[in-house]
A = this chain, B = another copy of it.
Amino acid sequence: MSFQRIAILGCGLIGGSFALALKKRGFAGEIVGCDRADVLEKAKARGAIDAGTSELSEAVANADLVYLATPVVTILDLLPQVAKAAKPGALITDAGSTKVRICRLAKEVLPDNVSFLGGHPMAGREVGGIENADPDLFVGKKWGLIQDDRRGAEDAEKEFAELVEKLGAQPVWMDAETHDWAVALVSHLPQLVSTALASTTWDETDEDGLPLSLAGPGYRDLTRLAASPYELWRDICLTNGDNIARALDRLEQRLAHIRGLLRSRDLAEEFEKAQQTCAMLKRGGRE
C-alpha cells in the first residue's frame, strides 16, 4: 500500500474507529492523530494512533493520506490549512456528513498536486468520542465516495476504495449533489422525524407519565435516534438545509395525505409502498 503515513484530523468516534480499524487489519505504517491533547492521550492509550500533535501542519506535512474526521463546519475551516501543509501527491479525504460544500471548497483551495476524495462512512451513532470508537464500526456499512473530477487522482482513489473494503465497508460512488439529497432522505430526515416524534410526546406527557409510560418496542425503535445531541446535527442542518427542508416538506405532505385516508381503503397503498421499501432494504442490505 502506498499510504505509509496517515494523518487523522479529529480523533473522535469516526477518526478513532478508522485508526483502530486500520491497526486491527494489520496496517504497518504510521498513524498520526491531530486533536486536543486530552483526546490524543486517550487515542494513544487505546492504541489507535502512534503519535499525536495539536499542530495541523505538523500532522499533515509528511502524510500520504490525510483523513478529516471532524464535524462538517470544522472540515470547512481546516481545508485551507490542509491545502497549505499537504505534501505533493497526497490524497485528502474526509468523513463529513454532507458533501456539496466540502467538495466545492476542496476544489477551490487545494493545489493541483494533491487529490481530494470526498467520503462519508454511513456509520454514525447517537454517541460520539474516542471512548466509543470501534475497530468494526464500518463493517457492513456503506461508505459514500465522491470522485474528484480532475485527472490524475484515479490511482490513489482506487487504492482508498480498496482500503474502505478492507475495513469491511462497501464503497458507493456518486456525485456530491446526489449524495446530499440521498442522505437528506435516509439519514437527516429520519433523525429529525425521531426528534420531532419524541419532542411531540414530551409536550403531551402528563404528571402520571402518560402517554410515554405506555410506549412499547415500536416507539423505542422510532425514538432511538432522538437521543442524539444537537451538536452532532448542527453542521448537517447548516450545510444541507435546502435538501433537508425539501425532504421534511415531502414527509409533511405524506403525513397529511395519510391523515386524509385514515378511514379509506386507499390507505393500503401507502402500507404497500412501505412494505416494498422494507423488502428492498432486506434484499440489498448487508446488515
Contact = CB atoms under 8 A, between A and B. Distances in A.
Contact of A223 (B123, B263, B277): B277
A268 to B, nearest CB: 4
Contact of A230 (B185, B234, B272): B272
Interface stretch (A8-16, A53-61, A82-90, A188-196): A188-196
A245 B142 CA distance: 37
Contact of A255 (B183, B190, B192, B225): B192
A228 to B, nearest CB: 7
Contact of A197 (B190, B205, B219): B190
A110 interface: no
Contacts of A162: none
Contacts of A217: 287
A153 interface: no
A285 B211 CA distance: 13
Contacts of A254: 196, 199-200
B245 A277 contact: no
A220 B281 contact: yes
A84 to B, nearest CB: 30
Contacts of A280: 205, 209, 212
A1 interface: no
A241 interface: yes
A190 to B, nearest CB: 4
Interface of A: 122-124, 141-142, 144, 172, 174, 178-179, 181-183, 185-187, 189-205, 209-230, 233-234, 237-238, 241, 244-245, 247-252, 254-256, 258-259, 262-263, 267-268, 270-281, 284-285, 287
Contacts of A241: 262-263
Which are the 5 A-B pairs with shortest beta-carbon distances?
A182-B211, A198-B274, A230-B271, A199-B273, A226-B274
A245 B274 contact: no
A224 B270 CA distance: 15
B124 A216 contact: yes
A285 B200 CA distance: 19
B250 A259 contact: no
A273 B200 CA distance: 9
B172 A214 contact: yes
A271 B227 CA distance: 8
A274 B195 contact: yes
Contacts of A233: 267, 271
B196 A222 contact: no
A185 B209 contact: no
B174 A210 contact: yes
Contact of A262 (B179, B181, B218, B245): B245
A276 B193 contact: no
B249 A252 contact: no
